[in-house]
Amino acid sequence: MCYCRISTHILQFFITMSLAFCKGDTIICNGDVNSRLRLFQNISDYHFTTIGFNPMRKNFRGNYVGFKSGNMEILERNFFATFDSQNILKMYLHHQNIKKIDPGAFLFMDCLKTLDLHANEIESLSDEIFLNLDRIEELDLSDNKLQEILPLTFNHTRTLKSLNLSNNKLERLSINSFFQLRHLEKLNLSYNALTNISDTTFDHLICLKILLLNGNKLMKINPEKWYNLFHLKVLDLSKNFLSNFDTGYKFSFGMTLSCLNLTDNRLTQLNIFGLLKNIPNVSVLGIQQNRWLCSDLELMLNILRGSNISYVGTSKKGAQIDGISCYNRAEEIFSPDKHAISEIKRNADYHFNGLTHQAQIMMIVIMCLLVIVVVILLLEVLLRFNLRDVLGIRGNRSGLDNYSNVEQIALITR
């Protein structure tokens, strides 16, 4: 039996039970969505409003809350607590320059389903921050400065369905980073600095459908040991440093995965027969920008075409098949990366050009100095030998020192 189905039934039951409490839920499907967002100037504007968030009130204007971009910096305990804050369903706190969130910052927001904290300066999180968010479904922490997800960070947000941690500075995840997130369906970890993912990291995510790990620094992963991803449909591993993706195993997501993106890695081989056998539901496969040998690629693409698996190729120059670039000879693959070489060459050229440019300026300066020295010396000689009359230069000879003579002569000769 599928856990997800059972659990969603149970969840729905509880949600129905809790409707009486979460009044906002009763009207979530009615009315104009746009009319529900209330935009405040700043936090005092929010606290001093006399219009509540309870849909049952006559003057109800909405229970989605946003703020003009501002400078909240620290969210202290009870930061958003007002007599009516329990009725708020969505809170948009992006671009608020938030640096720190104290434990209990979101107390008295029992009905909150969406919390958007993207584009702030948050460096760390603890589970206490999310106290009381018992109905949260969507949490967006993308574009912050998180370096690490500590164990149990999300222990109080167990109802989460979507978690966005993209564009942070995550280098590692703890084994229990996603502890108890049994309802999570989307996990966006793209564009971080992950080098390593422990095999048990995703163990609790039994409902996960979309896992985005693109734009990290992963060199090796063991997806065959991600034992509980029975519902995974999309796995994006593009833009990493993977040199291997071994399809010769049984995978927990073997029956469900339909999109596998391996674009822009360092793969030289991919066992397509293993793929067809062990992940048979894949219909979209990203394989561009790897290190295929053209002959291998040709075989792979033939099999893919025969099995109705679509792939995209956009490369337009160099050796390629169907727009997927490849190497004609094995030596080229193992010699340092073509791109790397051209990059190095470009850098070198740039520096060399910079150097020659500087050298030219230096030369000109030195030449000028030399010319000046020569001219001064010449004048000195002329003066010494009293040849001014010979050259027909007039002036007060006695009252002038050498320097002003030189100057005067320079002026005249010019």
Task: Work out which of 30, 50, 59, 308 binds ligand NAG, going by CB under 6 A.
Answer: 308
Scanning 209-337, the segments in alpha helix (DSSP H) are 272-278, 294-306, 330-334
Nearest residue to ligand NAG, scored by beta-carbon proximity = 164
Long-range contacts at 382-391 (CB < 8 A, ≥ 24 apart): 382/409, 383/409
Among 164, 177, 265, 405, binds ligand NAG (CB under 6 A): 164
126 counts as binding ligand NAG under rule CB under 6 A: no
Question: Per CB under 6 A, which region of 102-110, 135-143, 245-253, 315-323 contacts ligand NAG?
Answer: 135-143
Minimum Å distance from CB 321 to ligand NAG?
Answer: 18
**Which residue in 186, 225, 266, 338 binds ligand NAG (CB under 6 A)?**
186
**Burial class of residue 140 (count of CB atoms within 10 Å of its CB; 0-12, 13-18, 19+):** buried
Q: Which H or E element spans position 187?
A: strand 186-188
Of the candidate residues 118, 135, 182, 209, the single one contacting ligand NAG (CB under 6 A): 118
Buried b (16+ CB within 10 A) or exposed e, 366-399: eeeeeeeeeeeeebeebbeeeebeeeeeeeeeee
Question: Near ligand NAG by CB under 6 A, which window of 9-17, 53-61, 78-86, 256-264?
Answer: 256-264
286 lines the binding site for ligand NAG (CB under 6 A): yes
Instruction: Return the closest-CA partner of residue 159 out of 183, 141, 128.
Output: 183
- According to DSSP, the β-strands at 138-140 and 114-116 are parallel
Q: Looking up tokens 């999300």, which residue turns up?
A: 154
Shortest distance, position 349 Cβ to ligand NAG, whole Å: 29
Cβ nearer to ligand NAG, comparing 11 with 27: 11
283 is an interface residue for ligand NAG by CB under 6 A: yes
Cβ atoms of 262 and 285 closer than 8 Å? yes
Cβ proximity to ligand NAG: between 186 and 266 the closer is 186
List residues binding ligand NAG (CB under 6 A). 41-42, 44-45, 118, 127, 140, 142-143, 152, 155-156, 162, 164, 166-167, 186, 188, 190, 195-196, 198, 212, 214, 238-239, 255-256, 258-259, 261, 263-264, 281, 283-284, 286, 308
